Amino acid sequence: MTLIKSISGIRGTIGGRTGDTLNPLDIVKFTTAYAQFIGGKKIVVGRDGRISGLMVRNVVVGTLMGMGYDVIDIGYATTPTTELAVRMAGADGGIIITASHNPRQWNALKLLNREGEFLTAADGAEVLRMAEAEDFNYAEVDHLGSLTIDDSYNQRHIDSVLALKLVDVEAVKARKFRVCVDTINSVGGIILPDLFKALGVDYEILNGECTGDFAHNPEPLEKNLQGIMDKMKQGGFDLGIVVDPDVDRLAFISEDGTMFGEEYTLVSVADYVLSHTVGNTVSNLSSTRALRDVTEKHGGKYTAAAVGEVNVTTKMKEVGAVIGGEGNGGVIYPESHYGRDALVGIALFLSSLAQKGCKVSELRATFPEYQIAKNRIDLTPDTDVDAILVKVKEMFAKDNSAVVNDIDGVKIDFPDRWVHLRKSNTEPIIRVYSEAQTMEQADELGKQLMQVVYDMQ
């Protein structure tokens, strides 16, 4: 069992001993600390379709009411829907109950500020400090908070997407797309059909029941998506679409059943946005160089940020980026809001396809070709991650062909490839991502660095 406390929230497996898992006692403590930190009177709560979601929701809502907060419960909702709801409701903050791409036994609390954006690193650290201190002050009986159930925000989210100036609703309707969608038994199965209907898109949903009993590993990687890939190979669809349980990550499958490439979700959407809007882009250090190439082609400047949505959005604001995100299929479009949003990504991608009049595979062929190998090393209690990162830095410090970046783990940048090692914020692992012209070259580079880690364990 595992409990991970970080600046982005608290995440863990359900069931087991307190302090080691995501359990009611730790949920109360962490929720109380957040409520005490945020201040104000109103907080939005939304949740994905996980089996444990109702239990966690009840603990969170009761705790917030006990702190004197009026709670707006928006029910089953995507992460971007909850983010938008905070702003739309004029709330002081929000809590998203989701463990994103983690397997079914996990859940988490993601914390938002009054802008509907994730807390900064400093704010997140303060919430953690307050949770550990347990110096709490609850409301007296005459000042307990209230609960309002409001299920209108899914439609309001869709309406906001349709209103974006680069979402070409008429062109999409005229193209009469037929899509196959895997919503992995969570909230995507609730909201995406309504989006497709509004866009005039014919669709077939796989794993559409919002049960939280995921039909396969919910991370939208090729190795987990054989079902929809086989379905696409049978023909009859223009596009395959895959989301994760909280619908902030997005992957596409071409009409022939081949992966478009999770890394190229952001690249393709950015190319469309930049063709209409002059500006800069941002992605994280573990994302493909293809975004840099596309950005420079359109006359903009690309900047890399540390991994983590709040790090990317902070950098986007600093450089005035018009589009950004993460290579894991996360599209952040400031015209909508500063948060990864699969609905926005889908609408912009379909608009691009409709305007270009091409197939998905033809669009993919227009982008620079890179391959990323995504490996992981499971941590043991004795693993000294800091010592490993220092060792890796030392190995390449005197290599004139390499640029070493240590703002988030260690990234070694060579002229024709790169490798990035960092400790995950969401799982007890070291992520080892590497990119080159071919998958064989990328995987070889990653495994060279992995062997260094193994030798030190």
CA distances to 62, 142, 205, 372 from 389, rounded to whole Å, are 42, 54, 43, 21
Question: d(Cα 221, Cα 327) in Å, to the nearest integer?
Answer: 12
- 96 neighbors 175 (Cβ within 8 angstroms): no
Instruction: Give the residue numbers annotated as catalytic, written as ranges.
Output: 100
β-bridge pairing 239-243 and 250-253? antiparallel
Question: d(Cα 195, Cα 172) in Å, to the nearest integer?
Answer: 12
Torsion angles phi and psi, residue 417, rounded to 5: -165, 170
Position 271: which residue type? D
- 150 neighbors 91 (Cβ within 8 angstroms): no
Spatial CB neighbours of 10, under 8 Å, sequence gap ≥ 6: 3, 4, 22, 26, 27, 30, 108, 109
CB neighbour class for 32 (10 Å; exposed up to 12, middle 13-18, buried from 19): buried
Assigned token pair, 19: 């302090």
C-beta neighbour count of 151 within 10 angstroms: 12
Nearest to 428 by CA among 209, 106, 124, 161: 106
The conformation of residue 120, written as its DSSP 8-state character, comes to P
Nearest to 275 by CA among 323, 237, 310, 309: 323
Question: d(Cα 356, Cα 364) in Å, to the nearest integer?
Answer: 12
